[in-house]
A = this chain, B = another copy of it.
Amino acid sequence: MAEKITHRSKDYSEWYNNIIEEAGLAEHSAVKGCMVIKPHGYAIWERMQSVLDGMFKATGHVNAYFPLFIPKSFFSKEASHVEGFAKECAVVTHYRLKNAPDGSIVVDENSKLEEELIIRPTSETIIWNTYKGWVQSYRDLPLLINQWANVVRWEMRTRLFLRTTEFLWQEGHTAHATAEEAVEETKKMLDVYTDFVENWLAVPVIKGVKTANERFAGAIETYCIEAMMQDGKALQMGTSHFLGQNFAKAFDVQFADKEGKLEYVWATSWGVSTRLMGALVMAHSDDQGLVIPPKLAPHQVVIVPVYKENEELQEISETANKIKKSLEARGVRVLYDDSDKQRPGWKFAEYELKGVPVRIVIGLRDLANGTVEMVRRDTKTKHVVPLDQLENTVVETLDLIQTNLYQTALAFREAHTFSVDTWDEFKEKIDHGFVVAHWDGTTETELKIKAETKATIRCIPLDNAQEKGKCIYSGKPSTQRVIFARAY
């Protein structure tokens, strides 16, 4: 099994594709740039959705659903927004097919739309056009709404989960009476994302703001969380945008304040997507396959029986089902695989590939000894565990794995983050991870560095230490260091 996977050290990109294929997470579809999310991948995504959805609701948000289509004219209303998305829009122009005289199926030219419809690449425009009807007075505010949806951004070069033409995501769109409240919301949702990514996905992140050049099209300020993958590259895990009054002005959304004075509404939007699935693969997996943080694993424990005769299986199953039941009572998600289609060795490799955090193996000799074998997916260590200690041991082990994955990723990031002060050092270290360096604050310099090294400014960390220095590239004065990296 493991020989199907190229080693990380040999070809990271090929390793990534192998994991996704062999673990059954996703595959390319017949439609260029679009993926099929396979059952195992979708089960992990469902766990992510369910946890995030709970966090959104706990912070006062509700879900709603807005149309897939956006009239072309809406798009043009916010200038920088259309500028940012125009080049990657799927456009619907007709609404009917017909039979051609030769019997083939063709687009019916008589069904041409008067105004073309854009498949949403993000929903600010259609949502703010709707909010216009929902907001009259300060009593109608805030609106705290989230949407789970598919979006389309036409991509020329795609990678499963990381960059696909269609992807799944959630987009929060909130409306507020004051700028302060909107900024507070923007930061609150960045904190929610941080909590989720660090404590569930087990990936440490750096919170920061984007430079003007990397900002969301239509935002005043884009907050983000950035993580390091095992090849030292950065992956943006989520963004939260303070949109000011840009969309309220574009769609004329005003409210009467307590004094009856009309004001434009303040906006935020925030999102995470199936990219997080790519991060999960790239942050934790190894050369044997996928590694899933226990809190997100569809099955946290798999029990595999080892037997020769059917009578043996019955005896083992009795114990296995007891274990399953007692673990489930503790909230653990357990799969007992007693199918006779495959041998135990095949199953061991299969569940290793699929990233199940804990494997329990039960044979007759174990039963006689009152023990089972427990194997950790992260460390691959084997433990002989007495049956009467198994329940507690498994629960503790799941916690240990969760913590270990986070700590390992954190140690990796720290070992691959370099504070540098010369351009030569910059060019050397940028091949190996994050580079923390002074920058003169101009887009010009940022773009030149990108052109020379393919590195971008990932973020200006929140609460960044202020120190005087010289820009790593231009030598001009700088007030702080920012984080450079190559990114997905």
Contact = CB atoms under 8 A, between A and B. Distances in A.
B67 A42 contact: no
The A interface, classified by DSSP as helix, strand, loop or mixed, is: mixed
Given A39-B145, A75-B105, A107-B116, A65 B168 contact: yes
A104 B68 CA distance: 23
A96 B152 CA distance: 12
Interface in A132-154: 133, 139, 145, 149-150, 152, 154
Given A62-B39, A91-B93, A92-B92, A29 B75 contact: no
Max chain B Cβ within 10 angstroms of own Cβ: one of A94, A118, A341 = A94
Closest 7 CB pairs of A and B: A34-B67, A37-B65, A86-B97, A39-B62, A95-B154, A91-B94, A76-B105
Max chain B Cβ within 10 angstroms of own Cβ: one of A31, A37, A43, A130 = A31
Contacts of A67: 29, 31, 34-36, 166
Nearest to A26: B65
Nearest to A74: B30
Interface residues of A, number: 64
24 contacts: A29-B67, A29-B126, A29-B130, A30-B126, A31-B70, A31-B71, A31-B117, A34-B67, A34-B69, A36-B66, A36-B67, A39-B62, A43-B63, A67-B166, A69-B90, A86-B96, A86-B98, A87-B98, A89-B97, A90-B117, A91-B93, A93-B107, A95-B154, A97-B118
A154 B29 CA distance: 25
A341 B140 CA distance: 11
A119 interface: yes
A327 interface: no
A88 interface: yes
Given A31-B69, A36-B64, A46-B63, A96 B88 contact: yes
Interface of A: 27, 29-31, 34-39, 42-43, 45-46, 62-72, 74-76, 82, 86-99, 104-105, 107, 111, 116-119, 126, 129-130, 133, 139, 145, 149-150, 152, 154, 166, 168, 341
Contact of A91 (B62, B92, B133): B92
A181 to B, nearest CB: 17
A94 to B, nearest CB: 4
A46 B66 CA distance: 15
Contacts of A76: 104-105
A414 to B, nearest CB: 36
Nearest to A342: B139
A487 B371 CA distance: 64
Given A30-B129, A68-B150, A75 B97 contact: yes
Given A37-B65, A87-B97, 11 more contacts: A30-B126, A30-B129, A31-B126, A36-B65, A36-B67, A37-B64, A42-B65, A76-B105, A86-B99, A88-B96, A91-B93
Max chain B Cβ within 10 angstroms of own Cβ: one of A27, A145, A154 = A154
Contacts of A27: 130, 133
Max chain B Cβ within 10 angstroms of own Cβ: one of A71, A88, A89, A154 = A89
B94 A93 contact: yes
Contacts of A145: 39
Nearest to A114: B32
A168 B37 CA distance: 18
Given A30-B129, A62-B42, A139-B341, A154 B96 contact: yes
B166 A72 contact: no
B87 A36 contact: no
Contacts of A63: 39, 42-43, 46
